[in-house]
Amino acid sequence: MKKVIITGAAAILFGISTSNAQGILDKIDRTTNNVDRAGHTADRTKNTGDKIMGLFRKKKGGDDTAETKTMIRISSATLAELKSINEKVENSKGVTGTKLKFNNSTSSITVLHSGSTDDLLKTLQKAAPSVFAEKNIDGLDDGEISLKIKQ
């Protein structure tokens, strides 16, 4: 009889602890579900935000306002001539920035601008016709203009 009472008490205690453990597991499961739903909501919000921001971003390809990089290589120019050319390039329409590199034989000006290299050359021929005259142009390629200054 004593064995039955001890076994019954152990079964009751085991049942209570099992139900408490099941309650804890249920709470963990509910918390995990809440976290998953919050994560899905955040993902949907991010996707909606990306779609809205996509309306305000610059379009890629085929847009003339996109930044283009063109290297102007100039041979046989003095530092004073190079600075003068750089100033005229910098003040030209559509140019957003320049970077100057001087070397005795061949110097360069890296130009950030809108439009194509051909458009930049046309603009520069209007801004500095003596420098960008056709007789001074040694080469023209997409992203590069080569000039030879006659001394």
Look-up of token digits 């099941």: 22
Q: What dotted CATH number matches 67-148?
A: 3.30.70.100
User: If you average pLDDT over every residue of the chain, what do you get?
Assistant: 82
**Spatial CA neighbour of 104 closest among 74, 129, 139:** 74
Residue 27: pLDDT band (50, 70, 90) is confident
Give the separation between CA 121 and CA 127, rounded to whole angstroms: 10
pLDDT digits (tens, 9 = 90+) for 72-103: 998 888 888 889 889 998 988 888 889 999 88
* Mean pLDDT, residues 14-33 taken together: 77
**Spatial CA neighbour of 74 closest among 126, 122, 121, 109:** 109
Give the separation between CA 75 and CA 103, rounded to whole angstroms: 9
Residue 148: pLDDT band (50, 70, 90) is confident
- Of 12-16, 23-27, 62-66, 67-71, which range is least confident? 62-66
Across the beta sheet with 95-101, the strand order is 95-101, 106-114, 67-75, 144-148, 137-141
**The pLDDT value given to residue 99:** 92
